[in-house]
Amino acid sequence: MATDVSVAHPPSPPPVSIRLLRRLPVRGGHGIGVVDLKSGLVHEWVHAGPAPLHRLVTEQATLHPDDRAQVCAARTDLLTGNDHARTTIRIRFGIGEQWITVNATWVVLTRDGAPQAMVDLHIAEMSRRPRAAKALEQ
């Protein structure tokens, strides 16, 4: 016989920082997520953002391999004392799909045992060709 544990152990309410983020007005064209700074996992999208960023709510995007070090450096900066960071990264949702260049602004929410940051994404550019190919054309 299965036991419903939700009655005995209801889920904890979300932290104050998440409840506040859900209520903040968001500029058009932006997607807002909450990131665990140790793992890099975006564990909640508090504002889905416009297409194609809205897909982040239900799909996992792939970070361009050349941009991984930049994201790791931003997380390290936030963990070691900086309050905010900015990155420009490329993501895509499937092999063969367009790379989407995204400007990301990272802001620390907490540095306690589970350090968190808000990440604000805004589309900068969409392209099928990698940056190196574009640079050669210019």
Q: How far apart are CA 119 and CA 41, in angstroms?
A: 11
Compare 23 and 64 and report the one with higher pLDDT: 64
Q: What per-residue confidence (pLDDT) applies to 9?
A: 72
Q: How far apart are CA 24 and CA 10, in angstroms?
A: 26
Domain ranges of the chain: 29-137
Q: What per-residue confidence (pLDDT) applies to 66?
A: 98
Compare 16 and 71 and report the one with higher pLDDT: 71
DSSP-derived secondary structure for 42-76? EEEEEE--STTGGGGGTSPPEEPGGGHHHHHHHHH
Q: What per-residue confidence (pLDDT) applies to 27?
A: 77
Annotation: CATH topology of 29-137: Beta-Lactamase (3.30.450)
Give the residue from 28, 37, 40 showing the smallest Cα distance to 121. Answer: 28
* Coil, strand or helix at 33: strand
Tallying the residues shown for the chain, one arrives at 138
State how far Cα 109 lies from the chain centre: 14
Q: How far apart are CA 73 and CA 12, in angstroms?
A: 32
